[in-house]
Structure 1
Amino acid sequence: MSALDLTGLRRAVVIAPHPDDEVIGAFGLIRRLREHGVRVQVIVATDGAASHRHSARFPPKRLAAARRAESRAGMARAGVAAHDVHFLARADGSLGDYDSAACRGLARDMARGPAPDLLVLPSPADDHPDHRTVARAGRLLWPRCRQRLAYLVWPRTDRPTPPTRLWLSLGDRHWHMKRAALACHRTQTGLIEDDPDGFHMSQAERVAFTRPIERFTWA
């Protein structure tokens, strides 16, 4: 396992399956890149509207809008401007049904601009089917990209977790910033109370999602 080398990077693209995965998987990396003058673009694949399907206060359109705002707020803490956060608004929870043609369409939508020096993707070993489909589509992007990394959000219980190849130590300042950025995602951390079956990030999950070291594999 080795430390990430950020030297010589000018442009990076980070792809998140849902609004908040960019914080969970790569906030510290994004912040470090921005402090090194690297332009970072974040692409969020789904609208995130399936987290609370039965909420009357937050029907799908309102929830999707709230989650976009949360994502922009979290990325602002990482130093990413709002115009560099892009939302593809694919239906949350639908990507696991994508066939090869649909994956190619998703890849075309994710490809914005010239090849970056660094592409950061969800892991193909993630337990969430949306994450695995985004990882599949991401493999089709920018074949000449210099460096490609993957992050894991939801480890699978039926197989070993892929070994960490690269790590990034956040340090106290970036660690506290990451925790504050995750707290921006209030719809996922207790704001919505009228859907007992909706997703609520537990305290244990918040701790797991904001460890002081970010770990990556080669993508």
Structure 2
Amino acid sequence: MEARRFLEQAEALPFAPLAEIVGAGGVVVLAPHPDDESLGCGGLLAMAREAGRAVAVVFVSDGAASHRNSRRYPPPALRDLRAAEALAALAALGLPADAAHFLGLPDAAVPDHGPGFEAAVAAIHGIARSVGASALLATWAHDPHCDHQATHAMAAVVARQRGGLRHRAYPVWGHSLPAGAMLPGGAPRGARLDIAAQLPAKRRAVAAHRSQTTPLIDDDPEGFCLDAAMLARFDRPFEVFLEPAA
């Protein structure tokens, strides 16, 4: 199926309640970079917290590659800034600081195999156990970013190894695929979550990632910043959660 058609159908999936999407237990969200959690499932995180669920957010990479040429924010400073923004975003969603877990893998070089990958999988297993997780949410396999794909692969391995753990995928950069790109498999399966009541909290969480949404780091003309169209894409009263293809 063409990518554009797949995503159009994904954004028209039927709505389902939180429990149908994540099951009855805790929730673990894997974010390749600090901000992916707020963009892709900030509403779900806020709703899960409101429902009294145990929640953990795993920040897979350190986010230190978004402004490679900044002199005011060299990698160690940018790493600290993005971690602080991540904690502020979780607070906006009602989550305590101890819900955050930072794996510290290199931004733009998250491993998809080998010892680093296996160590990350082991860490995710431990976090899932600690919250009694029934669901593991991670970025979509076809997001055109290597870190997003590696994060998806981690989730797939953990879900395969842990019986009863639901793996659901949230697209972040899928819309940037070429419209005619062909995806394996058929039509999307999954559900949308109505987050109208949680949208104000989600907006605050996204805004907390100031290095990614404002000109806070203004000494790197090539630095990354989410544009208005991208922010509008995630400023809607629903979120999409896909069942990964077999």
**Correspondence for 2:135:** 118
Decide whether the 8 Å contact of 1:93 with 1:130 is kept in 2: yes
Paired residue for 1:134? 151
User: Which residue type is aligned with residue 130 of structure 1?
Assistant: D
Map of 1:34-45 to 2, 5 A cutoff?
34-45=49-60
Instruction: Specify the SS of the correspondent of 1:2.
Output: coil
The alignment-based identity, stated in percent, is 34
Instruction: Give 2:133's aligned amino acid.
Output: P
Show the counterpart of 2:7.
none
Q: What is the one-letter code of the residue matched to 1:133? A: A
1:204 aligns with 229
Partner of residue 169, structure 1:
194
| Structure 1 stretch displaced more, 192-201 or 135-144 | 135-144
Deviation at 1:101, TM superposition (A): 4.8
1:76–1:205 CA distance, 2 compared to 1 (3 A)? same
Of structures 1 and 2, the one scoring higher in RCO (CA 8 A, sep 6+) is 2
Asked if 1:184 is matched to 2:208, the reply is yes
Matches within 5 A, 1:46-65: 46-65=61-80
Letter in 2 for 1:211: R
Contact 1:169 1:212 in 2 (8 A): yes
Q: Which secondary structure does the structure 2 equivalent of 1:22 belong to?
A: helix
- How many residues are matched? 217
Instruction: Indicate conservation of the 8 Å contact 1:50/1:92, yes or no.
Output: yes
Output the TM-score relative to the length of structure 2. 0.82
Output one character per residue of 1:55-84: Cα deviation in whole Å (capped at 9) or x when no partner: 011111111111111111111111211011
Equivalent in 151, 159, 165 of residue 181 of structure 2: 159
Greater mean deviation of Cα atoms: 155-164 or 84-93: 155-164
Indicate whether 1:2 and 2:21 are aligned. no
Structure 2 portions without partners, runs of 5+:
1-12
The structural deviation recorded for 1:110 is: 2.2
**1:74-121 CA deviation, whole Å, 9 max, x = no partner?**
1111121101101011010012x5435543232113222415111111
| 2:157 paired with 1:145 | no
Q: Distance in 1 between matches of 2:34 and 2:67?
A: 14
Deviation at 1:164, TM superposition (A): 5.6
Which residue identity lines up with residue 122 of structure 1 in the other structure? T
Taking only aligned residues, the RMSD between alpha carbons, in angstroms, comes to 1.8
Deviations 1:178-214 (A, max 9, x none): 1111110011122110000110111111111222210
